[in-house]
Structure 1
Amino acid sequence: MILLALGAAAALVRWPQAAFLTLLILFQAAFVVSAIWKTVVAIASLRRPRPCARPIVWPRYTILAALHDEAAVTPQLIANLAHIDYPPDRLEAFIVLETHDHATLAAAQATPHPSWIKIFVVPPGSPLTKPRALNHALRQATGDLVTIYDAEDRPHPQQLRQAAARFVAQPRLGCLQAPLRICPSGRAGSAFLDRQFAFEYAALFEVTLPGMARLGLPFPLGGTSNHIRMTALRAAGGWDAHNVTEDADLGFRLWSLGWKLDVIDCPTWETPPGALDRWLPQRTRWLKGYMQTWGVHTRRPLGLGRRGLLSLVMTLGAGILSAAAHAPTLAWLASALMVGLHAGIAPATPVGSLGVLALGVIAAWMGCAVGAKRAGLDYRLGDMLAAPAYWALLSLAFVHATWRLVVEPHVWDKTPHDGDAQAPELTVVAQESGREAA
């Protein structure tokens, strides 16, 4: 990548006009390919999987929830896990804690919980990351299936049953991803980021991942609510303790071992990270992890096969490239307009470039609109017009991620979570589930 950047810079100095034209054509081609990809994936997502029959014997299930400095939301998480509708004798859960995190340990011990929820303390060591903690807890797990939840998660009570039925019906199914849906946080000063974050999640989990699953392609998993067959996870060696997006990496590793990936529709509700001081470190970690995962899997790209390599390029590769390009593209448009207005003349109108840009923006809006409808969100014209400003912030995170990848590649940027009221829709579902169980 360094050689490519230096080569492009040298070409711009030596042959500025030809080099600029070449880079512009490549950039436009990437936009067109991305727009076509999003359209194809959106169409594919219209086909929904058939429901599976109820298993005669429910497989054993292990829930892992790795917490760090989460004393405020630990009681909330335990309460949400206790609402899960699954045979208790076939269920175990581990609240995974670090040795030095005394506050969260005290909160977990003080919170009443079912007997199948256990507290597991990770021995001291490094790196201090979520995947390392999960790997330690995995040694104690006895389930046939395993799922991961974060501190702020509120999983649908029927999520485990739906996933288990799919695993029993499909022996080569290695992993299922549940959709993550964002609830309003109510925090002051974060409304813009909260809404855009929710639409971004809706486009990813309600459109992109289901579409890729229907096309039979691998995809980067979300950091939570992924359900994994234990034999597949152990064959993959667990999670990469040094990768700060171990979920994205694991999806492609499972695929390379011959396992299939799919999605379910029972969601998990989450709260958004919040204002810029919380959003930026989280997005920086995600992009840094995408770069790590890209670097790992492009060492031997043919190991993923043609379909796996296509998926890697169109998810992680396109995500990294678009994050780098959003702000410069917006700055180019704004500067051209401002210079023209200052000079009192109409700015030059490169119809082809603007057409390509419009195609990419419309495809992104389409994904957010379809995803928002499926997630029950209200996607308005104001949200569409504000989206470019949100996309430009991704370039800020890209710069941070690139620098952090060099100086602190394995440092985990922790996102703090605040306790909040239970989502109304989840309360209703939990009550209905309780009546069915009774």
Structure 2
Amino acid sequence: MTTTGSTTRAAVRLTDGFDAELAQLLPEGICRTFRVLAYAVVDGQVLVAATDPDDPITEHVVVERVDAPVLLVRHTTNEIMAAIDLAHPPVDRDVESAETRRARTQMAQMLTRSGLVTTEQMQRAMLEYSRTGDPLGDILVAHESIDEDVLVAALSEIHQLQRVSLDDFEPDPDLARRLPEPLARTLQTVPIADSEGVLLVAVARPLAGPSLRDVETALGQPVRQLLANRTELDQLLQRVHSEHYADVATTHLMDNAPESSAHVVVSPTQKAVLVLTVVVTVLCGLLWPMRTLVALVGLASLLYLLVSVYKFRLTLRALGTHLETDITDEEIAALDERHLPVYTILVPLYKEAGIVARLVRDINALDYPRTRLDVKLLCEEDDVETVEMIRGMRLPPHFHLVVVPDAKPKTKPKACNYGLQLSTGSFCVIFDAEDRPDPDQLKKSVLAFERVPGNVVCIQAKLNYFNQDQNMLTAWFANEYSMHFELVLPAMGASESPIPLGGTSNHFITDVLRDLGAWDPFNVTEDADLGIRLHREGYRTAMIDSTTLEEANSQVPNWVRQRSRWIKGYMQTWLVHMRNPVALLSQTGLRGFLSFNLTMGSAFVLLMNPVFWALTTLYVLTQAGFIQQLFPGLVFYAASAMLFIGNFVFVYLNVAGSLQRGEFGLTRTALLSPLYWGLMSWAAWKGFIQLFTNPFYWEKTEHGLNEPTAGGH
């Protein structure tokens, strides 16, 4: 594309009318921001009306987007804006006010004339402004063209407001808490001093109109605004309200819905039923030892059969179909970024200083305006290394360091609950430190929420691994995830069964999540539990065809730590929701009730594997007669069938999941997946023992052991 330069005259004028099709060559945002409009073609040149055709940024933006020679023609602002309004009928909320435009122009001139921002940086920021309408200064800060202190100085000059440094500032707690926390968090303001009847308040951005009136009404006296660095103000807000955040994060669910909290491992009724069952079983064993053992073997075989048939049925339903909510590239491209909501990203971190830089890079790579991101980096207070690493990086203000006070239970869900209270996004999502989500995942989620039924409050993306080819363990792990997220969960969502959410990449409507009490800080698979609680409250979860790549554990000890926690959490979740089976049945229906038990209860199946393997091995080696007596008639045929059918189903599910995802190279490792089942049983017994010895202990999984391969995200 080329341009022949600018001119002040042209044979064809905008006032003569414009070609409606040509007027669509430039997006509305660019037209309004740069005051330009393509209106005619003369001698092969596209005539573009411009208020300042000599401006190099305007010229570059236009030439870059018009696939033909361009001639910029000078017209008055009134002429161009009138034509733009005809070509793009204005919506009040999308049209820049005269006051906002003056402030933006003043900001741009101040920063460019002082040499603080290059022409290229300003052009990029102006283009993003034309798409989003977000403040130009915030865009420049988010892209690290300037730092927050420079922007605060510029705003101070423009609005004639005094600045204040909050670094290491310790306010009077009672004074700081006079402004209700929700208002302080939403408007980013904190009272810091009382000066002769006027309250001095630190603000991240100048307050005016209804916002200023709300603050003065809440405080009961006039205020004087002092501009502060957003990051410093954010840290001050956390220090002022940390006790409140910590209390809510730990006790909210336990206090408001104790029957839904895992803070009690086994309820008194469950203890009574368990003791009675053990007593009856022992008595039967004493009176009819062989019959009792045969009955137990028969029940175990039946449970195996039901779990295998259920998963096989789900797989058949999903195989070769597309049950997710599908969002096309064209729909994403057509999104009006001016209407995108603020999106909160919660990232729990613990002793992961080594991958913080990579995490920041991957979040900044998301196709979502940085000025609409609210990224909470959730660190534990005793993780000094990670906290200091983040502070030393001096990240732009869409990254928020959140330090969770050191108190029990020290779990991921408690950290997420803490961060959720500071969240400002209409939607929120959890990403783990090593996650690499598809760049368009947030936009897909926004579009999916617009399309799904109103009772869908969670969108679950798929998970898989970037290091699946590293060794046999990572390949098995990838097989399992492909089966779970490509087949099982989509089928469960399509049948409206309770979905145990994945630990990451689940997107929520923030207000609904808060109303539900968010995550259970005492449950070590808080994601699965939350999925069930959502369903019991009448809400639903939908899947989208977007993948987040994680790091599969490549070392057996690390894998066992992670898997034992997951299985312990599944057992916790089953115990919590089976405290009142009648209530669960009435809320989920028979299909949901059975689905829940066959999904969560499958954790107990893993405990039985070593017992049956030991019996089989012992029989092969010794031909012991009593073992043969345990499998009479029907029980023998059922157990034999499960030996073959159960293992076939397990292998088939893993092969089918990899085929559905298109990972054909992994299918051969799925043929050895019964060995993987052995590792799962090992982890299951570890988790089962911990359920009674240390139920709330969060087994730390080390991340950052592997860098992504060339085929990774």
| TM-score for both structures, normalised by structure 2 | 0.55
What's the counterpart of residue 342 of structure 2? 60
1:411 aligns with 2:697: yes
Among residues 565, 582, 592, which one is paired with 1:285 in the alignment?
565
Are 2:377 and 1:95 aligned?
Answer: yes
Matched, 1:397 2:675: no
Partner residue of 1:42?
A: 315
Q: What is the one-letter code of the residue matched to 1:90? A: R
Matched to 2:592, the amino acid is G
- Equivalent pair of 2:659/2:667 in contact (CA under 8 Å): no
Q: Does residue 308 of the first structure (1) align with residue 597 of the second (2)? A: no
- What SS does structure 1 have at the residue aligned with 2:542? strand
Question: Residue 51 of structure 1: which of 326, 330, 353 is its match?
Answer: 326
**Which one-letter code corresponds to 1:157 in the other structure?**
P
CA contact (8 A) 1:172 1:260 kept: yes
Matched residue SS, 1:178: strand
Greater relative contact order, per chain length (Cα 8 Å cut-off, separation 6+): 1
Counterparts of 1:311 and 1:59 in 2: how far apart (Å)?
A: 35
Query: For residues 541 and 534 of structure 2, what CA distance do their matches in structure 1 show?
Result: 8
How far is the alpha carbon of 1:30 from its aligned partner?
1.8
Name 2:555's counterpart in structure 1: 275
Q: Distance in 1 between matches of 2:567 and 2:276?
A: 21
Q: Is the 8 A contact 2:651 2:670 kept in 1?
A: no
Q: Which residue is equivalent to 1:76? A: 358
Number of the residue aligned with 1:251? 531
For 1:216 and 1:425, the matched residues in 2 are separated by 35
> How many residues in Structure 1 have an aligned counterpart in Structure 2?
416
Rounded to whole Å, the distance in 2 between the matches of 1:17 and 1:216 is 42
Contact 1:219 1:315 in 2 (8 A): no
Evaluate the alpha carbon distance shift between residue 275 and residue 169 of structure 1 in structure 2; reply closer, same or farther with a 3 A threshold. Answer: same
> Which of 175, 179, 186 is residue 462 of structure 2 equivalent to?
179
% identical aligned pairs: 31
1:12 aligned residue (279, 285, 289)? 285
| 1:264-320 CA distance string (max 9 Å, x none) | 1211111112322211111111111112111111112324422432222011112x2
Taking the TM superposition and a 5 Å limit, the aligned residue runs for 1:5-404 are 5-45=278-318, 46-52=321-327, 57-111=339-393, 113-170=395-452, 171-184=454-467, 191-301=471-581, 302-303=583-584, 304-306=587-589, 307-318=591-602, 320-340=603-623, 350-377=636-663, 378-381=665-668, 383-384=670-671, 386-404=672-690
The question of whether the paired residues in 2 share the 8 Å contact of 1:66 and 1:133 is answered with yes
CA contact (8 A) 1:148 1:224 kept: yes
1:375-409, Cα deviation, whole Å (9 max, x unpaired):
3432344542x322221222222222222111211
Query: What do the CA deviations read for 1:228-268 (whole angstroms, capped 9, x no partner)?
Result: 11122111111111111111111011111111111112111
**Structure 2: segments with no counterpart, 5+ residues:** 1-273, 625-630
Q: For residue 184 of structure 1, report the CA deviation from its aligned partner.
A: 2.1
Cα distance, 1:180–1:382 mapped onto 2, change above 3 Å? closer
Check 1:64–1:160 CA distance in 2 against 1; reply closer, same or farther (3 A cut): same
Q: Contact 1:327–1:393 (CA<8 Å) still a contact in 2?
A: no
8 Å CA contact 2:326–2:544 kept in 1: the answer is no
Distance 1:419 1:281, change over 3 A: closer
CA distance in 1, matches of 2:324, 2:659: 19
Cα deviation, residue 368, structure 1: 0.6
CA pair 332-268 structure 1, distance change in 2 beyond 3 A? same
Q: 2:324–2:545: 8 Å Cα contact kept in structure 1?
A: no
Task: Check the 8 A contact 1:44/1:212 in 2, yes or no.
Answer: no
The secondary structure found in structure 2 opposite 1:238 is coil
Relative distance call for 1:103 and 1:186 in structure 2 (3 A) is: farther
Tell me: CA distance 1:58–1:214, structure 2 relative to 1, closer, same or farther (3 Å).
same
Q: 1:176 to 1:423 in 2, by over 3 A?
A: farther
For residue 545 of structure 2, give the secondary structure of its aligned residue in structure 1.
coil
Equivalent residue letter for 2:295: T
Instruction: Kindly provide the amino acid, as one letter, of the partner of residue 406 in structure 1.
Output: F
Residue 67 of structure 1 deviates from its aligned partner by 0.2
- Counterpart residue identity of residue 339, structure 1: T
Report if aligned partners of 1:179, 1:267 keep a CA contact under 8 Å in 2: yes
Measured after TM superposition, the shift of residue 110 of structure 1 is 3.6
Distance apart, 1:8 and its partner CA: 2.9
Contact 2:347–2:433 at 8 Å: present in 1 too?
yes
Secondary structure of the corresponding residue to residue 124 of structure 1: coil
Change (3 A) 1:206 1:294: same
Shift of 1:25: 2.4
Instruction: Pick closer, same or farther for the CA change 1:2–1:182 going to 2, 3 Å.
Output: farther
Q: Are the aligned partners of 1:285 and 1:412 in contact in 2 as well (CA < 8 Å)?
A: yes
Alpha carbons 1:206, 1:374 under 8 Å: kept = yes
**The residue matched to 1:415 in structure 2 has which SS?**
coil
What SS does the corresponding residue of 2:344 show, helix, strand or coil? strand
Computing the radius of gyration from Cα coordinates, the structure with the larger value is 2
Alignment CA distance shift 1:382-1:337 (3 Å): farther
Give 1:143 deviation, angstroms: 0.8
